[in-house]
Amino acid sequence: MKKHNFSAGPSILAKEVIENTARAVLDLNGIGLSVMEISHRGKDFQAVIDETVELFRELLDIPSNYHVLFLGGGASLQFCMVPFNLMNKKAAYLETGSWAKKAIKEAKGFGEVDVVASSADKNFNYIPKGFTIPQDADYFHITTNNTIFGTEILEDYDSPVPLVADMSSDMFSRPVDVSKYAIIYGGAQKNLGPAGVTFVIIRDDILGKVDRHIPTMLDYRTHIENGSMFNTPPCLPIYTCLETLRWLKKLGGVEVMQKMNKEKADLLYKEIERNSLFRTTAEKDSRSLMNICFVMEEAYQDLEKDFLTFATSKGMTGIKGHRSVGGFRASVYNAMPKESVVALIDTMQEFEKANAR
């Protein structure tokens, strides 16, 4: 039976990306050695890093005054590195979900945190609007996509202070005006590659403005000066990112991917709205194109486990909602084919015919 992988992360990768990575694990470019066993400072892996950076720049149209880094520690380490490097006295944060809350918690260890707006009052089912960004903040931090609650910021904010964004779960899903951001960071394990590598896009004038001592490994300048190779980088995950970017370029880039992602999300949201058994949890104007969260209608909540069992029998994997919110979550990242979304819709319709009361 074909498996349809709706996992929120680590998530689906394109078939050819997995196959090409598997070949490189056995033999990188015919050199007779695995990508896992060559020196990260040798010419063969330097070529991997160089092409990965080049494709980042090309696909996102990154200006020349930005650096692209590949680090360890996940986006969670960036929750600490951002304030360590940028905060003198005060930072502003938008609270839109669990990951934003964790970023706020870390920042409070470095100075004052102004939460300019929060959607906690409605269990994070919307993106706040009409907030004011304090002009005396050292930076303003946002989380663009909220995997647990299924909301997404689909615009590039104009900010009077340096804008920092956690784009772990929607990077490369749509065009981004990088010039509006001071830092963009994210874990790779949603739209880019396997777990183990974190990307950071950073403007070169944003650093060196804090008085505190920054430990060597937590100082962005260390990694800029050493081309992401101050220590041994996560070589295999970086190689998989390269294969993903090659695949994305071949498809036509982020503009084409945005159209494909919108088509998939629109299909599934339309079915959820039509189906008498289900309803979405996010407000309509805040819905994520990456993580589509839904629950059983109140009259059918007793069928939640039954639907999960039925969907699993039809090859759907990873659709159980996050343990903190329950329900269901269909993560339709870049590599998710439209046919899998259609298969989930067929499953929902079949379940409705058998169980509608």
Question: Cis peptide before 134, with omega less than 30 degrees from 0?
Answer: no
What's the CA gap between 101 and 119, in Å, rounded? Answer: 11
What's the CA gap between 296 and 126, in Å, rounded? Answer: 19
The residue annotated as part of the active site, out of 138, 170, 190, 320, is 190
204 part of the active site: no
The residue annotated as part of the active site, out of 166, 219, 264, 320, is 166
Both structure tokens of 308: 């999960």
> What angle is formed at CA 321 by the lines to CA 316 and CA 322, rounded to 5 degrees?
130
The residue annotated as part of the active site, out of 99, 138, 219, 264, is 99
105 part of the active site: no
Q: CB–CB of 141/94 below 8 Å?
A: yes
How much helix, strand and coil, in percent to the nearest 5, is found in the chain? Answer: 40, 15, 45
166 part of the active site: yes
What's the CA gap between 345 and 307, in Å, rounded? Answer: 13
Q: What are phi and psi of 57, to 5 degrees?
A: -65, -45
Residues that are catalytic: 99, 166, 190
